[in-house]
Chain A
Amino acid sequence: MVHQKDINGLIRLLRSRDIDIQVQAAQALGSLGTEATDRLISALSTKNKTVKLGIIGALAGIKSSRSIQPLIAALGDENSEVRWQAAIALGDIGDSATTGSLCSALKDPDKYVRYGAAVSLTTIGWKPQDAAERAYYFAGLQEWGAVREIGKPAVPALTGLLRDRDSTVRIKAVELLGIIGDTDATPALIQSLGDENREVRWNSVLASPKCGISLKYLPRGLSRRPQNVKNPLIAGVLNFLLPGLGYGYLGKWWGTMIFQIDVMATVWLFKMEGDENSFSLLFPIYLVLGIHAWYITTKMPKDPP
């Protein structure tokens, strides 16, 4: 295909399930030089993530300046791997005009994208202009010691890291905010008290007083954490209307079994006793089951904070 310059054929191979074939196809496309650039750029509009990754890899190999704008656009892709790959590709092309976009990518919520952008900026030979830029740069490289030394100007970079999905990054950011101890971190730390991760919350508690947040505000912040608690009303209503499913909602394995037994028993009862007798017999049972499910839900232990 390389000899025939079958660009479309090679792009199709990027869809292969075999990673080796994908890599070889991307390398082959990259070896075709600038004549493949336009076709690759137009194929970059695909929705297929694997194809996008292969095309970006190929564009990085070609190093054509025409691919810079599409690659910068790919830094805004919804998929984090595509953004990461685009950041790496811009570093490979090595055009200093891309530093602005790569600096913006240092603020990406994904650590891989930030890391890719920081490494590419290093490759291009970019130097941070001020302390704030240095903080974003070292945070991207996860060089925490360097971030700590920057002090107060690192606060915006660190508060930005609290959006990262990786809880270890959030924990590190909160720890560093505590060490730096600047009051500018207050809103971010208050927010982190309600983080979904237990250790982020705890580290926020330890960091908050160091940033001048009064201890008395912390319990309220913690009480806003997401709590995986079952609603007693839902359990009760479910068990009353569909006996057994309320227990199923609470995670009891036998809940569905009770539901099925009830369905069969009810059908038989209606057949043998008629509507009126069946209702008068079943209603009190359902009521008791509903109240029971409601009661046991109220007594369920909460997740440790």
Chain B
Amino acid sequence: MATIESLKQSHDIRGLIRLLDHGSPEIQWRAADTLGTLGEPACDPLISIIDFPKVHVRIGAIEALGDLRNPRSVNHLVRKLKTDPDNEVRWVAALALGQIGDPGAVPALQLALKDNDRYVRYGAVKALETLGWTPATDIEMACALIALQDWQGVRKLGPGAVGPLIDIMKDPNPVTRTKIVGLLGGIGSSAAKKTCEAALLDRDPEVRWTAVLACKRCGTDTHRIPLIMSERQKTGPSAIGAAILNLFFFGLGYQYIGKWWGFLVFMSYMTIMVFVQLYGNLVFPFIYIYPFTAVSAVQTYYAVKRMPDM
């Protein structure tokens, strides 16, 4: 802490920026806070590192830029909000734009209400609140309520919320997708029905189950639901993969499907093969063993096929 204070006294911006990459999160934090107090001279050096490869450095720089409230950083922060691959960086960029208070950031923040990450959406709506923005249409209202995860408010909006809800279905978080599908099932428009049917193919079992209930409420023919769901991508082990492994590398197929003894079988098999090669005068003993491993491959294939994957 003494170092940070002395760097602050000497206005050593570069030294403080180096501390953003310090091993201690506490020091990173304090360095960012201190940089945010150094005014105009710190702005350009901080802007120059907002594309730094390490996430915590980018976060620290953006935190400091938010504290500096220099309008020159707005365009850079908007770019970060739109394009940074890390959700924490987009989130902190949204909050920094709210702190700076430039109304020019409103369109970018409105766009961020449709970000596929709930933290970024939450940051954007909080920043918009700070900027004094109020939703002008039902769609904007829906976007804001979704960002705040005010699901009761979204439900009250009814069909007006369907579009924004569908936009957020790309959220990688299954909890959010489950919530959205449940709400769409309650609203039940034709667009909602289509999205609920698509959700039957979701990778997450909870989303799929919610979609089953939602589809029923949206009026999807009950017989159609299992048919759609059967088209989903399987999330368990590949049946073909397990069979091929057991055919050519007997035992590895079992290991692949989660049997602890699979590798043991494989090593025993390989040891026997080596001995047969050495002492049995067989150039390629595997050819003789394939009929047996083929039986195991077929058995493994059907065993995987029978594994529950709902």
Contact = CB atoms under 8 A, between A and B. Distances in A.
Interface of A: 198-199, 202, 205-206, 215-220, 222-224, 253-254, 256-257, 260, 301, 304-305
Given A206-B149, A301-B172, 11 more contacts: A216-B95, A217-B29, A219-B91, A220-B25, A220-B60, A222-B119, A223-B59, A256-B255, A257-B249, A260-B252, A304-B171
A305 B123 CA distance: 14
Contacts of A219: 59, 88-89, 91-92, 95, 119, 123
Interface stretch (B139-147, B151-159, B185-193, B239-247): B239-247
B118 A256 contact: no
B88 A222 contact: yes
B202 interface: no
Contacts of A206: 149
B256 interface: yes
Contact of B117 (A198, A215, A304): A304
B173 interface: yes
Contact of B256 (A205, A222, A253, A301): A253
Interface in B35-76: 55-56, 59-60, 63, 66-67
B95 A215 contact: yes
Task: Say whether chain A's binding surface is mostly helix, strand, loop, or mixed.
Answer: helix
A199 B175 contact: yes
A215 B126 CA distance: 9
Contact of A253 (B59, B122, B171, B237): B237
B220 interface: no
A205 B241 contact: no
B290 to A, nearest CB: 15
A206 B149 CA distance: 10
Contacts of A257: 244-245, 248-249, 252
B278 to A, nearest CB: 13
B175 A223 contact: no
A72 to B, nearest CB: 39
B252 A256 contact: yes
Given A215-B123, A215-B126, A223-B56, A305 B88 contact: yes
13 contacts: A202-B175, A216-B96, A217-B63, A219-B88, A219-B95, A222-B119, A223-B59, A253-B242, A253-B245, A253-B256, A256-B245, A304-B173, A305-B173
Interface in B166-209: 171-175
A73 B122 CA distance: 48
Nearest to A194: B25
A78 B149 CA distance: 41
A209 B242 CA distance: 50
B266 to A, nearest CB: 9
Contacts of B244: 254, 257
